[in-house]
Structure 1
Amino acid sequence: MQNWKLQLSLQAVTLFATLAPLHAESPAVQPPVAPSAGFASIDPPAPSPPLLQDHSFSTGLQSSTRIQGSTGIQSDPYRAYAAFTGRGDEHSRLHTDLFVPLISDRQNLLFSDIRGQFLSGGGAEGNVGLVYRHMVASDYIVGVYGFYDVKRSANENTFHQATIGGELLTDVWDFRWNGYLPEGGSVHAVDASAVISNGNLVVQNNQERAYAGTDAEVGLLLCRIPNYFDSELRGFVGAYHFDTNSPTAESIQGPRVRAELRSFDLPFLSLDSRLTLGVQYQHDSVRDSQTSATIGVRMPFGPDRRRHRRMSRIERRMTDVVVRDVDVVTHTTPTPGGQEVAVHALYDFEIGSVTVLDASTADLPAAVASATTDSVIIDGGRGNIYLSQPIEVQDGQQILGGGLQVKGADTGIHAYYGTPVNLYGTDETQAVILTADNSVISGFNIFGGLHGISSDLPSGLDDLVDVLIFSNNVTGAADSGFRFGTLDADSIIAHNRATDNGAHGFDIEQNEGLFVQNNALGNAENGFDLFDNDGEVSLNRSLRNEGFGFFADDNSGNIDENEAYENGLSGFDFLDNTGSIAGNLSADNGLQGFTFARNNGVIEDNLAFDNGGFGFDFADNDGTVQGNLAFDNGDVGFDFADNFGLFQENIATGNFGAGFDFVNNSGQFLANEAIENSGSGFDFVENTAAGTFSNNVAEDNGEFGYDGTNSGTAVNNTGADNEDGNDTFP
């Protein structure tokens, strides 16, 4: 630092000695008035001193001299720099800018401008430009430039563009113009959207397009703040216009204003450094109002010891960043002729004509009841909806919540319409939504009320014909979340969720339809209470309910691939089974995994583990019990009275009671395995004269391998290492 100060002092002495004779012959000049400590007004340029044998030249505020000797010649008036700018708007961005002089003297500068831009929401852009600026008589600068731009949009489309422009800069004024020429055919497909067209919901296929256009602006130096890092404030006003050749695309045009506060030669960085704070506002009918703020730091390359002076104001302008639109202007536009009929993405029914209601609707239940369109969409875009009266769905009506997923009937491309909605029932004596025959109810988050969705009418519990109720969530109802009478064979209850309701999650008198992929969590009684099931109950889950996971008085249908976890009582509880119970899982429930009063159907490939009581518990088997697994339950793996049917290939292992505990076998008891249970492997009274007891295995059990008598057929029953022996039977 001391060497630098000494060198500067020597240069000042030399300059003073050179200028002294001329100063003595010049007329007297009044000394300048010292600037105030605050904002300084715009000063007129100081008189230029005469040239000194081509060794010195005017700089506006100060003189700069090429000094020859031991310090060498300063031949780099403009240094390369890197700039980093953060931009906050609807997408946070980071800009990087590399300024590289290629050919330069004080009046002429040819440089490359290399830029990169990264968006937080996805997407990036790169720009490579060549810029030529010429300073005219130290008064103004004329510049021209061209850029090649490439953009990777957030939609993962790539666009190419050429940008050309010109500028006129003075110490006080800015005038600039830019033209943007995207590559021909810059059209790429993007996600479709669901829109209402002529009263019907349709799927609109869209394209992302690059827009050709132009912008221009005028800037003015508003004030200087010399005592604060030699700062200045500039303001700019301009306009832009962009368009594309699509008949469905609207032109993008509007005003733009911005301001920049620039601070130069920052003491904590170096000479030629710069800090820029900016704010910008623009508005057009396509993108609406857009406001952004920027903060940028410029850091030059090269050591300060080679610099002998600060740049003058007009020289600083030679290194100003080229101002242009920050990225290739792209926008999503409808594909001409690209509308399709909208059908539901999962169930393929046509949405058709629509009435859209929301929180601003004065009497929403009345509006639903009086709607004559195919579908009523209740949208959540205006907030939650509070209901003191039920929404009464009409016969044949489709009532759908916002956030609706649809697809095009022709292409199958998916889109969404609206915002998900929350409905709050404020009266615990009435349901929030009352169903009707031939209706569709989907897409609602429902809180409170007596029931979330119900057919419990004032006149009594109604039976339903051909209803489709799916993708609804019901929480905190005073009674059951979903409550219906008989659901006929054409009815579907699917993808619904019942949570923390005051009684059952799902309460159905009789199911003859399809009951699939529903969830019941934390309800005060049973997760699923199906008084009678004659239909299909599959892929449902019951978790942490205080009663049974699944309960049915009688099952004559199919109960397949359901799951019951951590319920207070048994996972599955049925009085009588004449249908099929297959592929279900019951774990960590308070009582039994599976309980039946009697089995006259098929119980196959079910899994019960870690339950507090028996794995499987039933009175008599007159059907088929096959391929089931019971392990690590708190009592017997399989507990039943008598077997009159087929009981084969079941496994009991690691249970805290016997593996199999029953009274008599009068049917076929074949190829079952009891391994490592705390009690006997097989604990029974008798294999009767009508029974066949063959090919069973008992190993490593805590008591007997086989404990019972044989009066019928018993062959090839083996075992090993049972604590109390009886490794074979008979």
Structure 2
Amino acid sequence: MNKSAQTLCIGLFVFGTLTAPGVAQTTDTNPDASLSSSTSAADLKITPRFGVGYSTSGAGYDAFTNIEGFVPLLQSPGSTLTFLEGRLLIDNDADFGGNLLLGHRVYNPKSDRILGGYISYDHRDTGSSSFNQIGAGFESLGEIWDFRSNFYLPIGDTRQLAEESSVQNFSALTEPFFQDNFLVATGTQQRFESRRFEAAMGGLDVEAGVRIARLGATGDLRGYAGLYYYDAPESDDTLGWRARLEAHPNDNLRLGLSVQDDATFGTNVVFSIGANFPGTRPRGAKERGTSQQVAARLGESVSRQANIVVDEQFESESFTEQVTLKATNPETNEPYVFQHVNLGLVDGNGTFEAPFGTVQGAVAVAQADNIVYVQSGTNPGIPAFTIPDGVAVLSTALPRIIDTVEFGTVQLALSGSGLFPEVTGTVTLGNDTTLSGFAIANVTGNAIEATNLQNVTILDNRITNPTEQGIILNNVTGTSVIASNSITNSGLAGIFVRGSGTTQQELTLNNNTISGSGSQGIFFQVTEEAQQQAILSNNTVSNSIGQGIFIESSGNTRQNLAIDNSTINSTVLSNDGTGGQGILAQASAEAQQTFSITNSQINDSANSGLFVQSSESATQNFTLNSSTVSNSTGLGLLVQASGTTQQEFILNNSTINNTAIGSDGSGGQGILAQVSGEAQQTFSINNSQINNSANSGLFVQSSESAIQNFTLNNSTVNNSTGSGLLVQASGTTQQEFTLENSTINNTTVGSDGSGGQGIFVQANEEVQQQFTVTNSTVSTSAGQGIFVQGNDALNQNFIVSNSTVSDNVGQGISVQANGTTEQEFTIEGSTIERTQVSNDGSAGQGIFIQGNEATQNFSINGSTVSDNSGQGISIQGNDATQNFTLNSSQISNSTGTGGLIQASGTTRQEFALNNSTIDGTKLGSDGGGGQGVFIQANEGVQQEFAINNNAVSNNASQGIFVQANDVQKQNFSITNTEVSNSASQGIVVQANGTTQQEFNVENTTIGNSKDQGILVQANGTTQQEFSIDDTTINVSTGQGVLIQASENSQQAFRLRRNTISGTAFEGILAQGNDTARIDARVQFNSLNNSNNASGFAAIMNSNQNFCLQLDGNNTNTNFQLQRNAGTFQVVDRDSVEVNNTGVVNFTPTAGDFETVTVCPGE
């Protein structure tokens, strides 16, 4: 402590001592008073208390929490107090400190002041250092003014090393070279050392303060200002100032805020808060008016620096020396040790200067972490050898790059010679070993083998003609690497990795080239409870017999493999004709297998390019990403699941090209996905292409009790033979297939002339099948664009949505249900166009729907069917139950019929045509057809349908033709429909045989017909009942309405509120022939012709009865009633002319007609 600081400290201390009484005297107005009459000594007794507090960081200390206690030892209440005060301090890093203080205070009633002093012991642990300190202090407390001084003296080890670090930099003067068994370099080494010390600072602080304000009944706010001085060994002494506010809102709570500044610690703002229980004041001094307010402060805590102030000091120094350093392995932190071999020399001791002449000599002495470094020298052939545990055997053939602590990354001297030492026997690996840079040729047995050990690395070797495997790892655990090797003409597998028991394997195979293997190119196998994980990248496998890569998992194993950026070429069949797969992945028993192929190519396989098979209770997950499978024979990709297996297959951004039929005539599919037993299979194809398959591009098959879910998304199937997409389900299978945003193009027929469908979906037996086509295109198929068939299927649901089916042959969409099939399908928002006839000139329908004994429910909504060479839509029911609707659709430019609906046998058929357009139907090639809509029911059919709000126009024959032949029941209605520009009748309704037919035409417009607007015919023993109401017929070259009953038919009809004009013949003509019976009501019709034809005519040629109610009608010509045979009854005959507008002509005479009040059937 320097002299000026000592003087300042002594001066301040003396000044405080001398001025304390004077200050007290100025505040004491009653020096003789001791205790007031209302305050007893017991009321001023100080009691023990405890408290807690918190303070933010300050000069030389961190923020801390304190737990404190105050214990009176001796006291004369209101006069003297000896006390003990202690604190436990805990900083924010959970480092502990504390202090213990013994103090004594005296209250002077004359000066009304308290004088006190204390001695203390302090301790602080910074986390790096531990310090001790003793302290003392003096205080003078009054009602207005306070004065304090505190002294701090660290004891013991006051300066301690807290942290030390060292950094070495080596500057090589030479390239690393071999010396003895080490890799060394000569250079300059510079070492930098830095140290951080912590030093406890001793010193003093003084302050004086004044009360600024009173707070509540007992609280106050005081302000203080003072100086402090600290010093420590190896630190500059520090003189600073401090100003602070201290508030006591009540007797239990205290708040503090201080600002201080000095040259060492800078400016610090400190906030503190604390609470005591009970308060600091005695019970008798709680009220402001008590005369002993100063004496009550005897129990206040001492104000001092609670923490030992610690200064941080930093030192550093550097050293430089010339050294020769050994290269250190950063993984072991030990020097690299080399056992040198120069083949053909006399054995030395393995140093660089005296190398071994044989590999056997080096491996015999090598220890763990040694490197056997082999120069080719004079190489007569290295016999079989075993690598000890932890040893790496490296040749100088390739550049050897190693990491060192001292020199960074360096290339070993002599490496990169390009000379591969030849090994003629099996190399047996040990634990944690490496073999790199050797030519292993013509070995009897395995070229490289490892069994029941861990962690091997096999790099950059050339293996040729071993009689067994090129490399075999049997139960090798841990992490292993096989990289940059070439393996040619191995007798068995090029690389064979096997795990059994409870083995756990992790392997990496990179940049290997394998060709001409006698068995698999690469074979990974796990059995029992083994676990195997492998990454295969940038490998090439070619001309392997059996499989290019074979992956097999059985037992209760876990197998996870990934193939990336690899090529598998020209896999050939085994001698027995089996194998030939580019890649074969099999999982059985309870195995769990996960397998992926990315950015790879599989070419020219003699069998399937890729075969993925799961059986028994296995779980298999497979992904093919951004890869190509080309020129496979049999199948491009075969995926099979059986037993109770769960299999998931995902194909992304990949291409399957040019799959050929096998030599036995089978296969040829681009992809075949099969599931059987109780297996569950999920298959997804995304953003992929299947091109030029010799059979189906994609064949999806489910049988027995399997569950299959298949998705084709954003993909293309081009140039397939037989079927672009073939989906089959049988047994009790549950199958779901989704085709979305995809294209099926250019499917051709098979060599036998069959097939040619773009999509063929078939469900058999008790199958439940759901098939959806969305936003897709099916075009240029040599057969049907889409063919859906159900044979005794339990449930078949089919949806075509927002898709285009164009330029196909036979049918655009053909749907067939047979037997006990229950079939539901929807065509929505789709376009079916330009379907061509078959080679024999038949078919050509845009949509063909057929039900044979089955149940069918279907709808066609918002779709367009146009420019087809046959019917636009053809619907057939044979002993079936059919329910269907056509909504908001367009059928245009069809040939033969726009919409053909036929039912026969015991069919129950219900349908509706709503809000649709049928336009431009042409005649067939034989001159027949041409109807916009042709509806036919035969035999025992029950048929009900409605045609509502449609437009039927520009057809080459009838607009709508409805025919019933020996039908049990045919009921229909035509409402709110417009029929125009028909080349024959607008509407024809014909009933033959034993038909029972009911229909009504209402609110319909028929214009520009080349024959009758409406023709209704009843023949045989037909019973026909109909009405035509509120309909407009204009410009027909025949009658507006022609109604004929012949043979033994019975006809009852009602014609009301119709408007008929511009007809070339009668507006309405009703005619009874043979033995037919007619009951007619013709009312409120408007019949206007531009020629002399009758507005209404009724002719009775039958020998039976014709009853007519004619009233409310008007015509600009006449009404003609003619009886040529039988009985002709007229309701209110004599008033009929009055009841109508227009002349009524009776032929022969009115007397030949009977008058009745009502017709018999009314």
Q: TM-score, normalised by structure 2?
A: 0.32
Greater Rg, structure 1 or structure 2?
A: 2
Q: TM-score, normalised by structure 1?
A: 0.47
Which one has the bigger strand percentage? 2
Give the number of the structure with larger relative contact order, counting CA–CA contacts within 8 Å between residues 6 or more apart. Answer: 1
